[in-house]
Structures are given as structure tokens and as C-alpha cells.
Amino acid sequence: MENIDLSAAQVRVARLGEPDIESPLGLSERDGDFIANYVADDDTVVLHQNKKVIEEFVRSGSFLPAFTKAGPRKKIFFNPADTRVAIVTCGGLCPGINNVIRSLVMELFYRYGIRAIRGIQYGFHGFNPTAERPPMGLTPEVVKEIHTLGGSYLGSSRGPEEPAVIVDWLEKNKIRVLFTIGGDGTLHGTERIYQEVARRRLLLSVIGIPKTIDNDIPYVEKTFGLETAFSVAAESIRSAHTEAIGAPNGIGLVRVMGRYSGFIAANAALAMNEVNFVLVPEVPFDLEGERGFLPILKQRILARRHAVIITAEGAGQELIAGSAGPGDESGNKALQNIGLFLKKAIADYFKKAGLEVNIKYIDPSYLVRSVPANANDAIYCMQLAQNAVHGAMAGYTGIVVGRWNDQFTYVPLKLANSERKYICPDGELWRTVLEATGQPYSMKNP
């Protein structure tokens, strides 16, 4: 649950110094002249939308939490002619990575006139002098069509690299701006890089662009790739529903990604609106007993003769005995396969009850990661990249670019790494899921 009592220090963004170079963008500072405006340094986006909450802050004289608004500044910190930039992508694949890379290059090259742009290959390991693939030059010609492809043009990898090694490379190559594109693990690594840069007192801007289909970065409304991911997952639900209604007592079971947060499962279920049960990590459930999932599923089968279930990969882990083995290089714990577990548990339960069912299991997990971004995600990726460039050129550092209350913001890395975003079981999204599926508010026994 995101903290409603953020302090001024928690939302304050760092800056390398006072910008004194006129921006080459040629924008305006007044309304009504048909020219887009610069964003003022003191423009903000408030954390809260509820009028009553805001009035209480004002009445009590407390600090009203607000994020620095993203966008182009009239004065910039770096001279484009002398600015060298590095871009790296880390962690698992996600729809839209190439859109972000391309938009960063286009914005840097055409809007700010920066020519020295380096792409680091295969994650943070690409900074190491022993890396098999050296950094590559990025130009508009090189990246002009990569947005039509899934994956990452630069390649990606999991696992950390010593911040000192990375900053050594940045310092040696006179890099002034580093863009990292990645999820939870990447942003923690980016914060460590930023801390090492600050310790050395380097004039180097470090900017994170949050990439995770799990949508679990706090104080960011939506991470890119989520919408494409649940759109692809929704097609699996369509197939599961077709299979379920095409057989007597048919059960379609779909497993999607969502290690700690169930946003893909919830949104895919809403997008297709043919799902009867949504299982997510945030809402525990029992298998048997008066309120257990299996007896309720049986009621559904007896009444309607079919059912569709979607489960996030992190759901119900406490129900599965045994060890899942070691985690990955990013520090993510290994998970048992809840999809296969549920498939067997359902089959065993109905066999014991003397009721024949036809179970069809679909796992599109990696399909949702590797496809190109859809139209909405493509637009969002471009906007994130453009605002990342504006922030870097204005001298902001140690930040994540996000969106809050439908406006783009700069969030300190420390705050973005302070917690994880989950579906709130008391919130609007989960209520919508329950109303759409008709599943009980709780499948947990007293």
C-alpha cells in the first residue's frame, strides 16, 4: 500500500546543478501563442486526488505530497555538443523495450542534437571490460525500425554488476547521461549506480525508465508493457473459454505471469470478461472446506457446466509443498508451478467426487513478454522516453520517469525502490474483478 504521508525529502528530486544553457527546443512560456510550453521547475503533480484528503492536509498545515512534473525545461544543464549518452536494458523481456530505445535515440538526436549515443549490450554485464559484446553506436538509422520487433535490440540479462565497474566505464568514456530500462531489480541496481556516481561527485545524470509487465513499481500508475501483456493473455482466455464450453463439464485454466502482483491476471480477465475465477498473490485462498476454491468451482460446474480460471504465477504458493529451488540472478525467489498444481488438484477433487471434468491448461507466460507493443503501449513508451530525455538534459538525476494522475512525473529512485505495488483487495480494481467474475469475496475458510 503506497504511503499517504510522504515527506518533502522523499519526493524531492536531485539535480546536478543550476541549468544555464538555453534549450534548443524553442518552446514557449505563455499560453495562447500556438506553441507548446516549457514546464516550470516548480510545477508538480499531487499524490492525492481526493478533495477531502487534500483539504485535510491544507487544514492541518501538513506538507502536501507532490511529485516534480516531467517535461522540457527552458534552461538545460548539459551542452548537447559535449554530451555523451549510454542506454542499457536489463531483466526479462517486455513489450515496448525497443520503442523506448528508439524514442530515446530520436529525441536525443533530433530534438537536442546529441550524436554520441552508446547502446550497452546484454544488461549491466555489458559495462564490464570482459563482456563478449562491446557497446554499440546508436543512431536514428540504426534504430529506425526496431519498434516493430519484440524483445530488446540491445539484448538483456539478469544479475548485478559491481557499481564501481559500471561507473568506471561511464567515467572513462565521458558519459554524461545514463538511461536504464528495467524493472524492480534494475531500478535497485540503478540506485546503486547513482549512489556511486554521487560519491565520486561526477556530473552524470542517472535516469531509470520502469519496465515490468507485472506493474509492481510504486508511485507509477502503469509500467509500459502491461497493456500489451494482458491483451495477449486475453487471447489465451478466449481459447480457454472456447475449450471449456466445447466439452461437457469443461474447465479452462490459464496461468499468466505475476510473481508478486496480479495485475496481468486481473486486467486480462476484465478485458475478455469470460473468466469465472481470478487467483492472484494478493488474495489468499483455500482449496477445500466450506469456502474453499474447489467446492465453489464444483458449484459452478454443476450449475453452468463449464468454468474459466486465470491464475497469476505467484498465487497460492503457500498451498504447494516442497522447495521451488534457488531463485534467479535478479534475486527473485523461485516459484512452484501453480498452474500444474491446480490442474492436478482439480482433477483429483472431481474424481473423488465422482464427477467427470475436462480440463484444458494453457500457459502463455513467455508469449506475453516477447511480442511488439500494442498501440497504447507504443505511445506510452515514446512519452516516457521523451520525458526521460527532458529530465536528463535539465540536470535531474537519481530519478524514475513515470505517470501519476495522468501526468508524467519524476520520482526519486529511492522512493520507487521503497516498496512494491500490489493489487489492493479493498480497492476498485479488485472489486471490479469480483463483480465481473461473480466469484466470492473470499475463498478462505474462517
Q: Catalytic residue positions?
A: 214
Contact 422, 107 (CB under 8 A): no
Continuous H helices in 85-225: 97-106, 140-143, 163-172, 184-199
Integer angstrom CA distances of residue 42 from 7, 295, 385: 17, 57, 21
Residue whose grid cell is 519524476: 410
Helices first, then strands: H and E counts in the chain: 14, 17
DSSP state of 265: H
Residues 139, 115, 89: CA angle, nearest 5 degrees: 55
C-alpha cell at 279: 487467483
Q: What is the Cα gyration radius of the chain?
A: 24
Q: Which helix (H) or strand (E) holds 182?
A: strand 177-182
At residue 272, what is the residue type?
Answer: M
Residues 6+ apart with CB under 8 A from 366: none
Distance CA 443, CA 293 (A): 6
Residue 243 sits at φ, ψ, to 5 deg, of -65, -40
Other beta carbons within 10 angstroms of residue 399's beta carbon come to: 29
Q: How many CB atoms lie within 10 A of CB 142?
A: 16
What is the C-alpha separation between 292 and 295, in angstroms, rounded? 6
First and final C-alpha spacing in the chain: 25
Q: In Å, what is the CA distance from 285 to each residue of 133, 346, 441? A: 47, 14, 10
